[in-house]
Amino acid sequence: MATNKQIHLVSRPHGEPTVDNFKLVEAPVPELKDGQVLVRNHYLSLDPYMRGRMNDAKSYALPQPLNEVMGGGTVGEVVASKSDAFQPGDKVVGMGGWQEYTVISAEQRGMLRKVDTTHIPLSAYLGAVGMPGVTAWYGLVKIIDPKAGQTVVVSAASGAVGTAVGQLAKVRGCRAVGIAGGPDKCKYVVDELGFDACIDYKEHKDLKSLTTALKEACPNGVDGYFENVGGMILDAVMLRLNAFARIALCGMISGYNGEPIPMAAPQLLLTNRVKLEGFIVSEHMEVWPDALKELGTLVATGKLKYRETVAQGIASAPEAFLGLLKGRNFGKQLVKLV
């Protein structure tokens, strides 16, 4: 039998995670039982929400158990099947975890889904046509609900979610403004993705400077804000919000290692009658078909562009994950396993 290389979480981080929180383990690939499918994972998805799961604390995702395979999204190919629903050679997306092979029961709803790679690359099902893309779609369409001519701002604009938010806003006739770290990311967001403007937060170290930059980029104020970061960036956007603005609260990466995230002027929520809604995309499975249909069409026709940062081999996953939390990735962070 083939051996299955896996990454386990072996300790809880205190503050910033390190590679010592993880361990590379080899295990045999188990024999299939009736109704089970063996998948060879080709790509592993790394996502910011995984940091929260490393803590043994109440969050929107259950804590990752210690000394077990770290959970996460995967795409791959069925190599053996004892289920009528899947055949060897099928390309699939699922929650295979940080490992080379996954055995999944075909009866487990939502754990495995066949995908068509004729016009959409397999890896895109972990990004633009996967959970990050649907996250962008839900926050923009269902919470911000922008109208043509309105201004939509998104933080972490060069990441897997942010890139989709801005492009989907442009499809709807909006002004799209990104906030990202560094001139290369900002140039990409404007020149390649078609955002109207992008602010480099690394150039603006204080609230006044960042607010001034936002005022220039958003002369008519901000109608919708897609939040991935929190902290000073949220404070700056709050100062530019129009009356009846909508905020889709997706992530607060500035506080993922336990740092406090105070809000400078929460009274602006009242002054501007702001709607602020946090959401977890896995709780809205009813929208996934509509979202994936639009995202898939846009990617297949070249109208939704995306970028990937790819680490090589299962052993590289912990370092790549730590880099993601520090913003070293450009676009969607993946680990290539095949």
| Other CB atoms within 10 A of residue 303 CB | 12
Architecture in CATH of 3-127+306-336: Alpha-Beta Complex (3.90)
Which whole-number Å values give the CA distances from 192 to 99, 151, 184, 242, 304, in the listed order?
A: 33, 19, 11, 28, 10
Q: Please, what's the largest Cα pairwise distance for the chain?
A: 65
Using DSSP bridges, classify how beta strands 68-69 and 112-114 pair: parallel, antiparallel or unpaired: unpaired
Q: What is the CATH number of domain 131-282?
A: 3.40.50.720
Encoding tokens for residue 136?
A: 């962008």
Q: What is the pLDDT of residue 187?
A: 98
At 99, which amino acid appears? Q
118-145 burial: b if 16+ Cβ within 10 Å, else e: eebebbbbbbbbbbbbbbbbbbbbebbe
Q: What is the pLDDT of residue 58?
A: 75
Instruction: Enter the pTM of the model.
Output: 0.94
Domain boundaries, the chain: 3-127+306-336, 131-282
Q: What is the pLDDT of residue 228?
A: 96
Q: What span, in angstroms and rounded, lies between the C-alpha atoms of 223 and 244?
A: 7
CA torsion 142-143-145-150 (nearest 10°) is: -150
In the predicted model, residues of the chain with pLDDT beneath 70 are 1
Q: What is the pLDDT of residue 1?
A: 64
Q: What is the pLDDT of residue 57?
A: 82
Taking the mean position of all CA atoms in its chain, how far away is CA 295? 14
Q: What is the pLDDT of residues 121-146, one digit of tens each?
A: 999 999 999 999 999 999 999 999 99
